[in-house]
Structure 1
Amino acid sequence: MPDVTQELRLPWDDDPEDLYEHAPCGYLTTLPDGTIVRVNETFLAWTGYVRADLIGHKRFRDLLTPGDQIYHETHYAPLLAMQGEVHEIALEVVRPDKRRLPTLVNSVLERGPTGSPRIIRTMVFNASERRRYEKELLHARRAAEASEQRVQVLQQIVADLAAAPTVAEVAEAVVRAPEPAFQATSTSIYLVDAERDQIVAVASTDPTTGNWDDMPRSSTRAVAEVARRGDLHVVGTVAEAEEHFPDLAESMRRSERRSVVLLPLTTGPAEGETGITVLGVLAFSFRDERGLTDGELRMIRLLGQQAGQALDRARLYDDVRRREERASFMARTMRSMEVEHRLLQRARRLVERMVAEIADWALVRLQVGPAGVVEYHGSPAPDQAKLDVRTAAAIKSGEPVFATDGDGLGCTVLPLTVRGTVLGTLAVRMAPDRRGVEAERKFLIDLADRSALALENARLYEQERAIARTLQRSLLADSVPGSDPRFAVETHYQAAAQDMEVGGDWYDAFLITANKLAVVVGDVVGRGIEAATTMGQLRSAIRALASAENGPARLLEGLDRFCDRVDAARMATVVYAEIDLLSSEVAYACAGHLPPLLYEPAGSPQYLLQARSAPIGSRAGDRRRVEHRMRLAAGSRLLLYTDGLIERRNRGIDQGFEILAREYARMRDAPLKGLAAGLADTLVGKDHGDDVCMLCLTLGTEERLERSIGADPLQIALLRADMRGWLAGHGVETECLNAVLLACSEAVANSIEHGYRDDPFGVVDVCATISPETVEIRVADRGGWRGPGNDFARGRGLQLIYESMDEVAFDRGDDGTRVTMRRHRGDNHD
């Protein structure tokens, strides 16, 4: 028997290096700064990288998507530094062919004898199949949930029909009974309205047959006769109907019905005894002449009694249900108004809810606010003069003026009163059967009181919101450097749509020296007065720390020390850049902030992902501050922004980056003035829930100015401001500059007015070039100049162009119109 303690020998030997290289997972060994020093064949095979391209050249985070790179910096690396290891972190590796590989990553930080980080060992698992499996599992789960939900809905419908607590539901259940029970072809049900002395048609399986409308209880029609007598009538033939119910005979001939059953729906003692009450009539018919057996007749009478008892029970509950409906409507309306924070929107929401659910027409008149009297209503509106009289009476007395039958107006007017002050009035026209009911009057008074309070709260909110917005903007930089041909700065701030508190987003731009410009955008954690105060302190600290000697990295280090004294500034994010206006060199650093977006004239938008470090005052991870320097071409545009511009709950941050870059590229030829606001309108809109702060810097003067603007006269002023800065940057004399601006504006206005008269989406292209002798402007459109008045050769605009420029030429073609204008500079001008 072999010794079990002896080591078991395999007939072959495993090569440890081969086990490492071809392990079922990827292995990476990196230095503490992330530089890859070893990688196995499995990882290379999965990703498609070449070993020589990675080792010593790439950091692990360089292989990740931009969003995961930020996550690596702000979460992954700090956790690894604090805990020494991280497990099952989902990251996406970008292959050389730009495809993404979903992975799960485990990392262990090994430290040296002195405790300092030495190397990081990382295991990478391919999560592609797991991701597909999770998607399939999620799809199956959603399908199962949808199936279960459908079953529940069906069960609820069955339960509601069985309970039938209301008159309408009872009528609906009763009208469908004869078809499956007696093979009837059509059924109608009428209910008796004792208060109005009418018989009301309420439900039918085929309303095109018979006399399907309301009737007085005194009518001679068959339904009214049966309702008065309380007897079951079976009309087997048309001839029989002609003898007793002529109107029914005519209906039977018109609809090809041959037999009709008229069943009274009764409650009280059995048939033949006194005291029964007829609550309605059920009429159902057959296409053929039909004789009913005694058993069928007993079932029909039993149906009439059961239906009558159900109707009686439902009517007893109707008053309770009506009160519950009113209470529910009140709660829904108040919640609906609370969603809106503005006074006029709340007034509109109140009227919309009333007209949609309980009223034929409604109107709110407000006597407060800068807008004065404001109205919202349904249609048709009542006589305005009579309504004004009733409204004046309600305001003067402070008491409601109720509508009464036959008053000619049919409207109730209620004052909207809060703490003795009448804010306005609520006028409402209800359906006729709801007028004069005491419960309805109490309901309307309660509705007016609660609505008045909601409207007053909205008025106070608007007042406080205006104060908060004023405070917010007073804390932002009141001005940025201007009138310098070497650069231009455009800023934009947009507060959260519904938030009344001030936020922590901010921007600043200032000259450190005569030839060095600083720009910064930051975001302080939190909201409210404390965040706003911290924002102001950070802005002041940055201005104090900025100097010709300090660069971005040293400035961030100073902000870290600043956080030791101002703890509220901790974890604030900042992107800071310094621009040398003589050499066009920019140095920047990002402290936990989103990367700047650069657009150079000869390239496409790119995010600046270098010089990144943790947020200000961060106590975790690598606290060393770094900066990056690069030289920019003349005409480059640099965009700094806060997260409110791109982050959304319903999409990933990578998609936000892609959308911003695409829109920034699309607006590459737009004037700088209004560029930031245009980006905000496109990416954010007006109802976003987060603050948005942007600063766009244009560096240097372009050799050639090319702009494309929409066919909107408001765009001319933006183009003119852009061109003025460009001309001044090239040293164009004032007289020549003003003349070129005037001529260009007139030419663009003509293109918009005549070329795009019927095309609001048209585009006008403007190209300006300059030489030591002349300034040349070309304005081109692709519109159709139709009609006798649509010609450059007509109107005062052309006269101004000729007076301002030395040479003017027009080129008209099927593809649009182009005007070329030249103005000689200085002494060359004639």
Structure 2
Amino acid sequence: MTESGEGGPDVTQDLRVPWEEDPGDLYEHAPCGYLTTLPDGTIVKVNETFLAWSGYERTDLVGRRRFRDLLGAGDRIYHETHYAPLLNMRGSVSEVAFDLIRKDGRRLPILVNSVLGRDSSGLPRAVRTTVFNATERRSYEKELLAARRAAEASEQRVGALQQVVADLAAAPTAAEVGDAVVRAPGAAFGAEGAQVWLLDADRAQLTLLAGADGGAPAGDDIPLASSRPVARVARRGDLHVIGSVAEAEKHFPELAETMRRTGHRTMVLLPLTAGFAGESVGAEVLGVLSFGFGEERELSDSELRVVRLLGHQAGQALDRARLYDDARRREERATFLAETTRALDEVPRLLPRARRLIDRLVPRMAEWAAVRLQVGPAPLLAGEGGPVPDPERLAQRVALVTANNKAELTDDGPDRDLAVLPLAVGGRVLGTLALRMAPGRPPASAEASFLGDLADRVALALENARLYEQERAVARTLQRSLLASDLPGDPRFAVETHYQAAAQDLEVGGDWFDAFLITPDKLAVVVGDVVGRGIDAATTMGQLRSAIRALASAEAGPARLLERLDRFVDRVESARMATVAYAEVDLSSNELTYACAGHLPPLLAEPGSAPAYLLEGRSGALGTLAGRRARIEHRVPLAAGSRLLLYTDGLIERRTRGIDAGFAMLARAYAGRRASPLPGLTAGLAANLVGPEHADDVCLLCLALGTEDRLERSIGADPQLIASLRADLRGWLASHGVDEQTAQAVLLASSEAVANAIEHGYRNDPFGIVDITTVVSAEAVEVRITDRGDWQNPHGDLARGRGLRLMEQAMDEVTFDRTDGTTVTMRRARGQR
């Protein structure tokens, strides 16, 4: 050994190899492949290592193949689009991964490093490439990739669980919990056909809460005592994993059939429990989650831990949802009771109130409901919905509840979820409320407290309505007793009146009418309206009516009578501001004198003329003259057959329209009834303009004056109108002095002819019109009945039946004209036959 430097040993002499290295051998048998290619990629030199790896002979490659020809299709594209441009641009490329296609077609993973050599002018001359075998590296990468995928799957399961936990935290109801849970198996495990079953402890059954693609149809309830796997898991509270159809066939035959139908090869049934995590003892089962896989698979321990954790989280969420549902249901019940009470109070009448109750119950709370009240000799009934319980069994339950004053609640059998509740006030049973709980509602037994509160409120509301109707009937009787009932009768005039009380007002109103004879030849008619309502208004109304009768005289006249009433209201303060339309008719001269104290103007219809309002003779309401005591009146001559209408403001005044529109509507309606019989005319006007549910009193008086030379009337094709026509015709015949026997014959024949015209001429036309014209001479009475209907059989019953025989027996002559419709002309001589 020799020293070097400052005396140290020279170790380089000992590092020499004992043989001389051959550079050519180093190139050929290097641990990597070497190859040299021209710039176009043609291989010009390759070592033995590369040939051994590729399986080619040197003569197969040198000068014959390009390097890229040895690569797979995708790698060739990458070589052309990325590798070659990068090499030309940078001069070298390192660790590019390719798949080398060996001569036998197998793939060899390789890593490639290339350097581009250039000549003195900088042009590409050759590419030197080293190739490394990457087989072991590729295996390591696959193992690493498998581990990464397993980690990603675990992370996916954890993420899915975290997501479902977040969804469950935001799910306030059981239905929303079910929707969140049913998505978890697919996201966490790639499962399919997930279903969530909710345990109903009250009914001891499992109900499908979410998911309907796992073999069970929606709405399929499973008794808890059933042998079905879902019920068994709910009873036992443990996890079941069925790994194959064969295993299911052995232990769960029903589940095996479901798996074959749905294509599942593995099934998981998981109890949803509320309690401490990881503890099964004492944990309450609230439901079951089931899901399946399309292939047989074995769940790993980590997957099973995630499954159990999912069941616990879902159970906790269901427990919270149950508490939330209970609170929400209590709030809903309280709101329903309050709203129902208000809704019933809006309807004062008994039967409408009972019907509104049914409308409130069905279908929101009940599938079917009925109220039965004993309010007289016959029960009052209201019901709606279905299916209706068996009538006989229901009647038995109603009788039992009525007798015992105790509710009957049924949760099973043919009357499932049926409740019959007593409606009692002060210990006295007024009737019963029967209902069947709506689908999805708790059973009747679970709603016993709510149903009891409902029955108590309903009973009180219906009792108040019964008392209201009783008091209302008393009030109406009192009110009508204060109205004039002894209206005068005379062949020279006829009076028709109508009073309609406010539909929803219990108090007596102040509208009134009267008609009386001042002298045998002077008639007074009056309509008035006292301010206010109640007993005071009714008393004032009676005082005014009596005062007018006492103050009216042959010499006074309307203006002086109103002046005396002004002095009267100075002593009767409640009569101040009352309005009056007062008229006197001289029956000998047919002259009308009228005056209006703040009241709406009378409406006069004379033969051949349109109705006109009488706008003269007007002054302020009673007691409002402020020292000015003079009242004015106006005189109008009347033709025979004129009709005068007096009325109160309830007939035409509305908040939704102007008073002029009301006047116009009344005039049109009055003109349309000008040819109608007087009986029923005022009631018809009120029905046309007001309707039954009006909020104000309505009072009308119509005076028909003088004897018409010809009675011309028109009635609709309604048999009920014949009675009004008979009454009108009877009065007209009497005013002309027609004897009783002749009058009866004319009335009988006319009624038969009109009835036949309606029955045969207008059997298919309810809007048809029948015209009646009657003329009286000194010798006879002649009647003409005309219709324009289409008689399907011109002779029909009229030619052969009882109607024609009656007319021929009652009248002297009966003829028919069928030129335009049908006209029956009849004549009867006056006096005895």
Partner of 2:768 in structure 1?
762
Residue pair 1:614, 1:623 contacting (<8 A) in 2 also: no
1:548: how far off?
2.2
Partner of 1:700 in structure 2?
706
Q: How far apart in 2 are the matches of 1:660 and 1:260?
A: 80
Kindly indicate whether residue 635 of structure 2 is the aligned counterpart of residue 635 of structure 1.
no
1:615: how far off?
1.1
| 1:429-471 deviations in Å (ceiling 9; x for gaps) | 446974473x533333333333333333233222222211111
Counterpart secondary structure, 2:644: strand
Q: Which moved more, 1:377-386 or 1:507-516?
A: 377-386
> For 1:326, which of 328, 333, 336 is the aligned residue?
333
Partner of 1:564 in structure 2?
570
Q: How far apart in 2 are the matches of 1:818 and 1:512?
A: 44
Residue pair 2:418, 2:434 contacting (<8 A) in 1 also: yes
> For 2:318, which of 301, 307, 311 is the aligned residue?
311
Partner of 2:155 in structure 1?
none
1:739: how far off?
2.0
Partner of 1:601 in structure 2?
607
1:259-274 equivalence runs, <5 A: 268=275
> For 2:353, which of 327, 332, 346 is the aligned residue?
346
Q: How far apart in 2 are the matches of 1:717 and 1:767?
A: 16
Partner of 2:135 in structure 1?
none
> For 1:817, which of 801, 810, 822 is the aligned residue?
822
Counterpart secondary structure, 1:491: strand
- The answer to which structure, 1 or 2, has the higher relative contact order (CA under 8 A, 6+ apart) is 1
Kindly indicate whether residue 499 of structure 2 is the aligned counterpart of residue 493 of structure 1.
yes
Amino acid at match of 2:372: R
Q: How far apart in 1 are the matches of 2:169 and 2:673?
A: 63
> CA distance change for structure 1 residues 412 and 196 in 2, over 3 Å: closer, same or farther?
closer
Residue pair 1:785, 1:791 contacting (<8 A) in 2 also: no
Residue pair 2:418, 2:444 contacting (<8 A) in 1 also: no
Residue pair 1:646, 1:683 contacting (<8 A) in 2 also: yes
> CA distance change for structure 1 residues 788 and 808 in 2, over 3 Å: closer, same or farther?
closer
Partner of 1:365 in structure 2?
372
Partner of 1:791 in structure 2?
797
Partner of 2:141 in structure 1?
none
Kindly indicate whether residue 477 of structure 2 is the aligned counterpart of residue 467 of structure 1.
no
Q: How far apart in 1 are the matches of 2:478 and 2:357?
A: 32
| 1:717-764 deviations in Å (ceiling 9; x for gaps) | 110111122222233333332221121111112222333334444332
Partner of 2:725 in structure 1?
719
Counterpart secondary structure, 2:797: coil
1:535: how far off?
0.6
> CA distance change for structure 1 residues 445 and 633 in 2, over 3 Å: closer, same or farther?
same
Q: How far apart in 2 are the matches of 1:732 and 1:646?
A: 40
Partner of 1:691 in structure 2?
697
1:566: how far off?
0.7
Residue pair 2:717, 2:767 contacting (<8 A) in 1 also: yes
Partner of 1:50 in structure 2?
none
1:289-688 equivalence runs, <5 A: 309-369=316-376, 371-378=377-384, 379-403=386-410, 405-406=412-413, 411-430=418-437, 434-435=442-443, 437=445, 440-484=447-491, 486-618=492-624, 624-688=630-694
1:365: how far off?
3.2
| 1:131-160 deviations in Å (ceiling 9; x for gaps) | xxxxxxxxxxxxxxxxxxxxxxxxxxxxxx
Residue pair 1:210, 1:251 contacting (<8 A) in 2 also: no
| 1:579-635 deviations in Å (ceiling 9; x for gaps) | 222222222222211122222221222222222222111156976522222222222
Residue pair 1:242, 1:248 contacting (<8 A) in 2 also: no
In our comparison, the structure showing a higher alpha carbon Rg is 2
Q: How far apart in 2 are the matches of 1:641 and 1:578?
A: 16
1:809: how far off?
0.8
Q: Which moved more, 1:244-253 or 1:322-331?
A: 244-253
Q: How far apart in 2 are the matches of 1:232 and 1:560?
A: 99
1:483: how far off?
2.7
Residue pair 2:273, 2:315 contacting (<8 A) in 1 also: yes
1:219-298 equivalence runs, <5 A: 268=275, 279-280=286-287
Percent pairwise identity: 64
> CA distance change for structure 1 residues 305 and 229 in 2, over 3 Å: closer, same or farther?
closer
Q: How far apart in 1 are the matches of 2:184 and 2:629?
A: 79
Residue pair 1:222, 1:248 contacting (<8 A) in 2 also: no
Amino acid at match of 2:535: I
Partner of 1:192 in structure 2?
199
Residue pair 2:215, 2:261 contacting (<8 A) in 1 also: no
Q: How far apart in 1 are the matches of 2:354 and 2:644?
A: 44
1:768: how far off?
1.8
> CA distance change for structure 1 residues 194 and 478 in 2, over 3 Å: closer, same or farther?
closer
Residue pair 1:238, 1:259 contacting (<8 A) in 2 also: yes
Residue pair 1:390, 1:401 contacting (<8 A) in 2 also: yes
Amino acid at match of 2:769: V
Q: TM-score, normalised by structure 2?
A: 0.68
Amino acid at match of 1:647: E
> For 2:736, which of 730, 750, 753 is the aligned residue?
730
Q: Runs of 5+ in structure 2 lacking a partner? A: 1-167, 295-302
1:138-157 equivalence runs, <5 A: none
Residue pair 2:652, 2:666 contacting (<8 A) in 1 also: yes
Residue pair 2:786, 2:822 contacting (<8 A) in 1 also: yes
1:568: how far off?
0.7
Residue pair 2:350, 2:466 contacting (<8 A) in 1 also: yes
Partner of 2:165 in structure 1?
none
Q: How far apart in 2 are the matches of 1:221 and 1:462?
A: 59
